Homo-oligomer: A and B are copies of this chain.
Amino acid sequence: MAIVSGGLDSTTLAYWLRRHANGLTILSVDYGQRHRKELQFARATARVLDAAHHTADLASLGALLGGSALTDTAVAVPNGHYTDASMAITVVPNRNALLLDVAVGLATVLGADTVAFGAHGGDHAVYPDCRPEFLAAYQQMVTVAGAGFLPDGFQVIAPFMAMTKTDIVALANRLAVPADSTWSCYRGGDLHCGTCGTCVERREAFALAGVADPTRYADATDAGRVG
C-alpha cells in the first residue's frame, strides 16, 4: 500500500511500487489541506495504475489543528524555498504519524504487508517526521502497537529516504511518470503558482535533473524560482 498525495514524489512512489510489488493499493488523505485538489491527481493515478484507491477523510482535523498555512486559509502560504526556515509555518503538527497510522490500520484490515510513503532527503530540513530516525521510531512503535494483529512480515518503508528531489525527478523520468498529472503547489489554484516552497523545489529539481518540466506555472520567472 502506498500513501499517495497526488504530488510528484508519492506518484513516482506508486509507479515504482507498481513495478516492484505484488498488487497495489493507494491511500490518500484529506486532512483539510487547501491544496486538496492534489487528491484528484491521486485518484487519477490510481486509475492509470489499476490500483484500488481509498481516501481517508480527516478534513475536520484541519480545523482542530489549525494554524498551519497548509490547512488554515487565514494563514498565508509563504513564498521561498522549501527548505527555508520560513517554511515552518507549513508544518501540520504530527502529520506523518497520523497519515501512517491510518495506512497501518487500513493495511491491517486489508491484510497488506507493506505501507510505503514518499519522504525523501529534501524533506528533512523542515519536517522532522520525514527523517530516517522518525521512520525507525515509527516502525518500532507500530510493531509494538500491532503485535498479534499486523499481517505477517509487515513493514513500513520509505524507499526514497536517501534520495534528493532531483533524484526523484530523474527516477520519475525513467519510469515515464506523467509529471503533469501530479500536483505540488501548496496554494491549490488553477495553475501551480511557481513561488511557494514546494513549487520552487519542484522547478529546481527538474532543472537540476536536466529533465524538461511540463508543469505550467503562474509565475515561471527566476524571481519566482528563487523567491
Contacts and interface: CB of A to CB of B under 8 A. Distances in A.
Interface of A: 54, 56-58, 60-61, 64-67, 88, 91-98, 101-102, 104-106, 108-109, 128-129, 131, 133-134, 137-138, 140-149
Given A137-B141, A146-B128, A104 B94 contact: yes
The count of identical subunits is 2
B128 A65 contact: no
B104 A93 contact: yes
Secondary structure of the A side of the interface?
Answer: helix
Contact of A93 (B96, B144, B146): B146
Contacts of A60: 56-58
A109 B65 contact: yes
Contact of A101 (B101, B106, B128): B101
A64 B65 CA distance: 22
B97 A97 contact: yes
20 contacts: A56-B64, A58-B58, A58-B60, A93-B104, A94-B101, A94-B105, A94-B108, A94-B145, A97-B97, A97-B104, A97-B142, A128-B144, A128-B145, A128-B148, A129-B144, A133-B144, A134-B144, A137-B145, A138-B145, A140-B140
A54 B140 CA distance: 30
A134 B145 contact: yes
A105 B93 contact: yes
Nearest to A94: B105
